[in-house]
Amino acid sequence: MMKQISWRKIALKPFLFFSIVMILKMVLVWAVVFRHEGSLIQSLLVGIPPVWFIFSLLESYAYKRKLSAYLIADLVLTIIYFAVIMYYKYFGVIVTYHELRQVNQVSEVNSSVFSLMDPYYLFVFTDIVVIFVLMLSNKRFKAFARGLRFRENRGLLGIGQVVMLVLCAVIILPFRNGMNELQQAKNMGVINYEAYVAFAPSKDLKIDPQTVTPDMVAQVKGITDPAQPAYWEAAKGKNVIIIQLEAFQNFLINLKLDGQEITPNMNALVKNTLYFPHFFQQVGQGNTADAEFVVNTSLYVPPNGAASEVYADRELPSMPKNLANHGYRTATFHTNNVIFWNRDQLYKALGWEKYYDNTFFGDSDPVAFGSSDEVLYKKTSEELGKFQQEGKPFYAQIISMSGHHPFRIPEAKFKMKLPDRFKGTLVGDYIQAQNYADYALGQFIQELKANGVWDNSVIVLYGDHQGLPVYSLNSKEKDLMKEIYGRTYTVPDMMNIPLVVSVPGQDAKVFDQIGGQSDIYPTVANLIGVSLKDQVHFGQDLLNQTENVLPQRYYLPSGSFITEQGAFVPGTSFNDGKTYKLDGEQVNKPLEDKTEYDKARKLISMSDGYVSSLPKLK
């Protein structure tokens, strides 16, 4: 007589229970990350095999401590899923083991991390907490756990392991050559993708670094320097002051909400300076520190990790070194601790003569992670006044910070009345913080004009990176951005930052060509009359070039670039890519021919090879 099946015993088997738990967590990942990229069924079908492979290994080799082993596996997998969700919410990419080197930065930006987290995300840890508490405190549950100390049929487990491993390989192999990392993670499943990335080869093209020269870069870019460049030596002998504005996006320029100007001081500058409205970020995982690197070297960020950590051990050709060779003194100013993002080492590699951090600015009037922009600008203007009195030109870089995510400045710093519909939203907090940052900037401008520095300096202002990730906005916040733009807020909008250049004696002008942060160094060099003919650089002088291609990394998948046609994002290859036009339209095909795609890939591979070949810092 056939025995009756005990469904209760089957349901209590760890393999089945934890499989159901992991499927629920995969559903959450799909809902946050992949909902617009693929179906839920597809996500589950590619997500289950690696989990079952792990669980079958536990059944074979950890059966003596079966429940504890499952709980540890559950915890590890849950941490991966949770990290994927949180990282996607800010960067729009899938976190991998490469980002582990940035774990030490989390404590500095914990307010930003927590602001991205919807409370229900924490439910992914519920089962782990409940089971752990029961294992510690409930005698019946302890007895149940001891009763699980047996091994299932070894033959079936062995077959299951082989089948699951084969399935994982079948899932991974067709997509291993894809360019778009988000598409790869969707097609492979999160766990398969994480395992694949650990062993995946570089997506760089093979470039002999010895062949990377200024002429070769110009040839690939398709540009030629004019015989008599415009604005050459227009600011010869003048100071250079670069102001990096935290999270400042271009849409803020001339924006009014209910009649209120958000950035009146930047608006006034735009009317009287050289203004580049189609200017874009080129940062990677290091965000603000990456912007410092790109602007001062005209090189691209590394494929993984922050430039301040990956490239800080190299003898970097840089603007501080070049200007120092032409008689400039150099200094950089930031109210945070210099060890944050490994800046102390980056600054050595860049060749800064002196840096000013929180030991100089103190900890008074805190906003974000250091003293306020008011303190930054007040003390910096006094120091720059001293520099000028010495009679030697100087290059100063100033890093603002009060506009940092999550944009929750003290109420005492509010300088505008935020419309009710914007209150309690990330967009509203962002606008409020940037309004204050602009107020502090206005004070700095007045101080520089009062001490005579302004009229004797080239002043360059730009945003370091986006402030409002499209992936972080809820439906109400997307509607607010639609109100501001008059259309849907898109990827190129997010990456669009302003560039403003004040040159003594030069009339105001708007330059409509595409530009990026790598273009600042050659543009400044042209203004002060410093040749870059013998220095490898990947940017171009925006005052003398009208066509451009901007390879992108990290905030967009590998193979992405921006031109006047828009932001191109590949799929598994070039042919199934999408173009996000600068006017907000999305086109589900490439608008450029493959030449621009190949050019962007080659340029970024050339930069990687060139930097890696530089001598180690002594």
The 10s digit of each residue's pLDDT in 446-494 is: 999 999 999 999 999 999 999 999 988 999 999 999 999 999 999 999 9
| Distance between CA atoms of residues 124 and 121, nearest Å | 6
The pLDDT, as a whole number, for residue 593 is 86
Query: Mean pLDDT lowest for which of 139-148, 160-169, 393-402, 515-524?
Result: 139-148
Q: What is each CA distance from 250 to 263, 398, 465, 549, in whole angstroms? A: 11, 19, 10, 19
Calculate helix-pair angle for 181-188, 154-172, nearest 10 degrees: 150
Task: Give the rounded percent of residues in the chain with a pLDDT score beyond 90.
Answer: 76
The whole-number average pLDDT for the span 320-349 is: 94
**Would you list the DSSP string of 171-229?**
HHGGGTT-S-HHHHHHHH-HHHHHHHHHHPPP-S----GGG--HHHHHHHHT----SS-
Supply 154's token pair. 């070894």
The pLDDT, as a whole number, for residue 12 is 57
**Greatest CA span in the chain, whole angstroms?**
103
| Distance between CA atoms of residues 252 and 130, nearest Å | 47
pLDDT-derived band at 107 (thresholds 50, 70, 90) equals very low
State the Cα torsion 501-503-509-511 to the nearest 10°.
-40
Q: Locate tokens 């409509």: which residue?
A: 512
Residue 300 in this model has a pLDDT that exceeds 80: yes
The pLDDT, as a whole number, for residue 101 is 62
Average per-residue pLDDT for the chain: 92
HSE on the CB side for 555, CA within 13 Å? 30
- Stretch (H or E) spanning 461: strand 457-463
Collapsing DSSP to helix, strand or coil, 419 comes out as coil
Kindly report the pTM of this predicted structure.
0.92
φ, ψ of residue 164 to 5 degrees: the values are: -65, -40
Beta bridge partners of 497: 279
pLDDT in tens, 221-273: 999 999 999 999 999 999 999 999 999 999 999 999 999 999 999 999 999 99
φ, ψ of residue 425 to 5 degrees: the values are: -120, 160
Query: Mean pLDDT lowest for which of 44-48, 121-125, 424-428, 546-550?
Result: 121-125
Query: Mean pLDDT lowest for which of 158-162, 396-400, 481-485?
Result: 158-162
Residue 1 in this model has a pLDDT that exceeds 70: no
Beta bridge partners of 508: none
Task: Give the rounded percent of residues in the chain with a pLDDT score beyond 70.
Answer: 95
Amino acid 491 reads V
Higher pLDDT: 83 or 330? It is 330
Contact between residue 374 and residue 443 where contact means Cβ atoms under 8 Å apart: yes
Collapsing DSSP to helix, strand or coil, 256 comes out as strand
pLDDT-derived band at 5 (thresholds 50, 70, 90) equals very low
| 204 burial via Cβ count (<10 Å: 0-12, 13-18, 19+) | middle
| Distance between CA atoms of residues 475 and 495, nearest Å | 20
